[in-house]
Amino acid sequence: MAAAQNEGAWNEDGRGPSIWDVFARRQGKIKGKGKPYMATDFYHRFKDDLLLVKALGFNTFRFSISWSRIMPDGSGKINQAGISFYHQLIDECLKQDITPFITLYHWDLPQALEQKGGWASHLMNRWFIKYVSVCATAFGDKVKNWIVLNEPFGFTSLGYMLGRHAPGKTGLDNYLKAIHHAALAQADGGRVLRSEVKNAYIGTSFSCSDVRPFTNKAEDIEAARKTDILLNRLFIEPLLGKGYPSENFKLIEKLELVNKSWKFTDRMRFDMDFIGVQNYFPVVVKHSPFIPYVNATEVKAATRKVPHTAMGWEISPGGFYNVLKKFWKYGAVKEIIVTESGAFFTDKMVNGQVADEARMHYHQQYLQALLQAKKDGIKIKGYMAWTLTDNFEWSEGYHPRFGLVHIDFKTQLRTVKQSGYWFRDFLADV
């Protein structure tokens, strides 16, 4: 789970506002007028939610830290109440024999830093190193498992190019700078953790998709090639020391020029212990002259009449298998953890029960693909279902439900869905 999607308590105990608190106030930015201010009230209910984690048989709990809860201005003053909240959460995990897995950055930048330019500012890396160091010092004795960034492609493109996520910025210049600062941050973060946390197990998470051309026409194949560079290769390749994948792609050439990135090839490299793979759906593209640089447009699952979730995302365990294989093929990836996998389906509560067979089936199919990948020699250490409870789904508001546990957002009542019970039974047999 992610702080901005679950914690709520947005202005309690000294927490500063994040970009999502501010963005949500803007007219029309979040569907259905949903705000993240209370979310799933995890801040006050984490003990109950951890009991659910335990009851469903999971041995690991992934959560993110709200940067502005522990550093309200983003840098400088530390808020002890925020540090103490995460200590309570970690202690509770340990008490329940659940391994805590911390994500350092899951999209909720302190607003104070956004006002100084946020991810588009060259100061970002200094702020980030400080923040990681504060977290490492505070929690490193108790927590060994760390994810530096969650989906850098997601928060840079949606937040700094398309304006659909916080902070709502647009424009190529912002985008190219944000990409570069994120590419540096993932490696910088890794280095800070390595030096400050004894026996740390360090990774970072990427969104990835099996990209396919709609037809075999050369122009569609070229559209798929560029889309693959953006969706899958853009952040992992600099991390592996290969620099940006710019082959014959003007957008990435520009990225390199704007940031003089060749000077940073060494600094963008870090030897992660694992890579977090997050795959939801394959992407099928065809050529389009109207989309600058990439010249590609997606052919949606509904148009192609293939099975899809209520989000419109194609259900494709085969595509999931392909991305696992693709990342493993780099050779330099030591281990993979599937740090997110899940689906939104329109759940119905009938007589206090949610029979979400489609979600259950989704996880079964994706787990089968994972087992196949393991049999084929890919080192996969784990599968984290996205997600424990329904939550605040960013600009989509509260409508899309991904949880194994249903939440009534008026009363905060939790009800385990059939998919949750399925996990419990499945894990009891493992």
Nearer to ligand GAL, 213 or 403 (CB): 403
Size of interface with ligand GAL, in residues (CB under 6 A): 11
Distance from the Cα of residue 254 to its chain's centroid: 26
Cα–Cα distance, 247 to 198 (Å, whole number)? 39
| Number of helices followed by number of strands (H, E) in the chain | 16, 14
- Candidate residues 49, 151, 210, 314; the one interacting with ligand GAL per rule CB under 6 A: 151
The answer to whether residue 186 forms part of the interface with ligand GAL (CB under 6 A) is no
Residue 49 or residue 222: which is nearer to ligand GAL going by CB? 49
CA atoms within 13 A on the CB side of 163: 7
Which token pair is 302? 């509904």
Q: Does 2 bind ligand GAL (CB under 6 A)?
A: yes
Residues 322 to 361 in contact with ligand GAL, rule: CB under 6 A: 340
Q: At what angle do helices 80-95 and 124-139 cross, to 10 degrees?
A: 50
378 closest CA partner among 427, 318, 337? 337
Cβ-based nearer residue to ligand GAL, 68 or 278: 278
Distance CA 263, CA 256 (A): 10
Give the residues across from 204 on adjacent strands.
Answer: 275
Please confirm, yes or no, whether 393 is among the known catalytic residues.
no
User: Which is nearer to ligand GAL, 101 or 386 (by Cβ)?
Assistant: 386
Catalytic annotation, pick one of 151, 222, 237, 393: 151
Whether 151 sits among the annotated catalytic residues: the reply is yes
In what order do the strands lie in the sheet containing 201-207?
60-64, 99-105, 145-150, 201-207, 274-278, 336-341, 380-385
281 binds ligand GAL (CB under 6 A): no
Task: Assess 320 for contact with ligand GAL (CB under 6 A).
Answer: no
Report in angstroms how near the CB of residue 340 gets to ligand GAL at its nearest.
Answer: 6
Using only the alpha carbons of the chain, give its radius of gyration. 21
* Cα–Cα distance for residue pair 17/258, rounded to 1 Å: 31
Q: How far is the CB of 150 from ligand GAL (least distance, A)?
A: 5
7 contacts ligand GAL (rule: CB under 6 A): no
> Which residue in 85, 201, 386, 423 binds ligand GAL (CB under 6 A)?
386
Among 8, 72, 154, 276, binds ligand GAL (CB under 6 A): 154
Between CA 239 and CA 338 the distance in angstroms is: 18
Q: Which is nearer to ligand GAL, 307 or 312 (CB)?
A: 312
Q: Under DSSP, is residue 186 helix (H, G, I), strand (E, B) or coil?
A: helix
Active-site pick, 114, 237, 314, 340: 340
As annotated, the active-site residues are 151, 340
Interaction site with ligand GAL (CB under 6 A): 2, 5, 150-151, 154, 207, 340, 386, 393-394, 402
